[in-house]
Amino acid sequence: MKILQLLVGQMAVYSYVVGCEQTGEALLIDPAGEERQVVEEARRHGLTITKIVNTHGHPDHTCGNSLAKELTGAPILVHQDDAGTMVSESARQFAQMLGCAGTPPADQTIADGERIEVGREVSLEVIHTPGHSPGSICLYSAGHLFTGDTLFVGGVGRTDLPGGSWSKMLSSITNRILTLPDETIIWPGHDYGPSSTSTVKYERESNPYLR
């Protein structure tokens, strides 16, 4: 499995290309700007994007969906609880502030426990982690967890936006993330911490919001 971590857009968002090295098929997590460069970077590594997955429906993580889909023909996947709000009028207005027209509707909704598969090597389990938004998810493959805005390096996602809940956030992190193996690499949704990645063990022991 090949992972490309790409810092894009105006809000220090990490987009990820996760690819199968055997077939060259890949998925794109959270298109958030600079989609032409992201697609080209994937191609430079021998990868073709065949699926687009949003970790949640907020515009800073979905604002590149339209162009990414246009460039790749890939379907857009998002959790069923964020599918409606991500195409709301308020979301569209926020997207315009970021310089894009907003996202088209999801082509497919996903739910907790489902697997998103690409090629022969990539199989990511959907872990529903509400708190930042009702439909926030993490994507897990043994040794790797893409956390979106649920868990950052040394921080957690905000819960003061519509649909946010600190109690749900804490439960999601405690019961769905910190129970994973210690060595699991945390791939966060924003470049907000002192490093670009972390581990479950480090966050459990050092994250000030979780003590």
Q: What is the pLDDT of residue 97?
A: 79
pLDDT value of residue 198: 98
Task: Summarize pLDDT for 145-174 with one digit per residue, the tens.
Answer: 999 999 999 999 999 998 999 999 999 999
E-strand ranges in 9-71 read 13-19, 25-29, 48-53
Length of the chain: 211
CA distances from 185 to 26, 68, 147, 210 (A): 19, 26, 10, 17
DSSP secondary structure, 88-153, as one string: SHHHHHHHHHTTS--PPPPSEEE-TT-EEEETTTEEEEEEE-TTSSTT-EEEEETTEEEEETTEET
Decide: 197 and 188 in contact? Cβ < 8 Å.
Answer: yes
CATH assignment of 2-210?
3.60.15.10
For the chain, percent of residues with pLDDT exceeding 90: 90
> Which tokens is 69 given?
């889909």
Q: How far is CA 38 from CA 23, 49, 64, 129, in A?
A: 19, 10, 10, 26
User: From CA 97, how far away is CA 130, in angstroms rounded?
Assistant: 25
Contacts of 133 (CB under 8 A, 6+ apart): 56, 57, 58, 81, 82, 85, 149, 161, 163, 164
Predicted confidence (pLDDT) per residue in 73-104, tens digit: 999 999 999 999 999 888 888 888 777 778 99
User: What is the pTM assigned to this prediction?
Assistant: 0.96
Assess contact for 111 and 135: CB atoms under 8 A.
Answer: no
Q: Which of 156, 131, 141 is nearest to 208 (CA)?
A: 156
How confident is the prediction for the chain on average, in pLDDT?
95
Distance in angstroms (rounded) separating the CA atoms of residues 172 and 180: 12
Q: What percent of the chain has pLDDT over 70?
A: 100
Predicted confidence (pLDDT) per residue in 39-57, tens digit: 999 999 999 999 999 999 9
